[in-house]
Chain A
Amino acid sequence: GAGVSQSPSNKVTEKGKDVELRCDPISGHTALYWYRQSLGQGLEFLIYFQGNSAPDKSGLPSDRFSAERTGGSVSTLTIQRTQQEDSAVYLCASSLYFGTSFDTQYFGPGTRLTVL
C-alpha cells in the first residue's frame, strides 16, 4: 500500500480482556515504531523494531504489553489484561532504515483503544 495502515481503527474492550493491534508498514521499510498517545498528550515511545528484532523493550509500560514483527513486515502489539489507563491512541510508524535519526517516520492513522 501507499502508506502505513493500522487495524482496527477503533477498539472497545472490557477491562481484563486481551487486545491485539496490527500495523502494516510501508513496503520495504526496515524500521517500525509503536507510540502511545493519550488524549491531548504527546507521543509516548513504546518499542521499535529493526527488521524482526526489538533491541530495546524498555519503553513498554508494563509486562502486559508485548510486540512482535514477522517477516520484517507486519507488527502486532498485544496488551494483556487491559486496564482503563491503557485507553489511548496507539500509533505505528515506519521508516526506511533503522539506526539513523535522519529518516522520516511515516505514521499510520492509529488505533483508538477504549477500555471500559
Chain B
Amino acid sequence: GQQVMQIPQYQHVQEGEDFTTYCNSSTTLSNIQWYKQRPGGHPVFLIQLVKSGEVKKQKRLTFQFGEAKKNSSLHITATQTTDVGTYFCAGGSQGNLIFGKGTKLSVKP
C-alpha cells in the first residue's frame, strides 16, 4: 500500500547544530502535514504544506514541499533542548493521511 518513508529514524545532535528530517513518497501527494511528539506526549500538529515548492517558516523551523509534491523536509536551525522529540510527516493521498515512522531527535546540551 501507499507508504511515506521518513529518514533518518534517529538523529543525535549537539545543541546549536542544525537538524533535517526528510519525507519521501513514491506517488504524488495532495498535501503534507508535520507533527511533533515530545517525550511522553502525543503528536501535535505543526504545519501543513499544500502547494508545489511551498516553503513555510516557524521561527527556527523551515518546512519545504518538493516541486513534484513527492517529498518534504523539516529543517531546524541551531537546535535547542526544547526541540527534543519525534517529528512525524504525514502525506495526503486519496483523502487519507499516511504517517511516516518519524525521526527521533535528541539534543545534547
| Interface of A toward B, CB cutoff 8 Å | 35, 40-43, 45, 91, 93, 99-102, 104-110
**Most chain-B Cβ atoms within 10 A of its Cβ — which of A93, A104, A109, A110?**
A104
Q: What chain A residues lie within 8 Å of B102 (beta carbons)? A: 42-43
CA distance A81 to B109 in the complex (A): 45
Q: Are A101 and B88 in contact (CB under 8 A)?
A: no
> Which chain A positions have C-beta within 8 A of B44?
107
- Tell me the smallest distance from the CB of A84 to a CB of chain B, in Å: 22
Report B78-109 residues with CB < 8 Å from chain A CB: 88, 90-93, 95-102, 104
Query: Main SS of chain B's interface residues?
Result: strand
Task: Determine the chain B residues whose CB is within 8 A of the CB of A45 once the complex forms.
Answer: 98-99
Asked if A107 and B42 sit within 8 Å, CB to CB, the answer is yes
Question: Which residues from A are CB-within-8-Å of B97?
Answer: 101, 105
Interface hits, B5-61 → A, CB 8 Å: 6, 30-31, 33, 35, 41-45, 48, 50
User: Which chain A residue has the least Cβ–Cβ distance from B95?
Assistant: A99
Give bound CA distance, A108 to B99, whole Å: 16
**Given contact pairs A102-B30, A104-B45, A104-B48, A43 touches B96 in the complex (Cβ within 8 A):** no
Contact present for A91 and B43 (CB under 8 Å): yes
Contact of B93 with A107 in the complex, beta carbons under 8 Å: no
B42 to chain A: which residues have CB within 8 Å?
91, 107-110
Q: How distant is the Cα of A102 from the Cα of B95 in the complex, in angstroms? A: 8
Distance in Å from the Cβ of A29 to the closest Cβ of chain B? Answer: 14
Residue pair A101, B92 in contact (C-beta under 8 Å)? yes
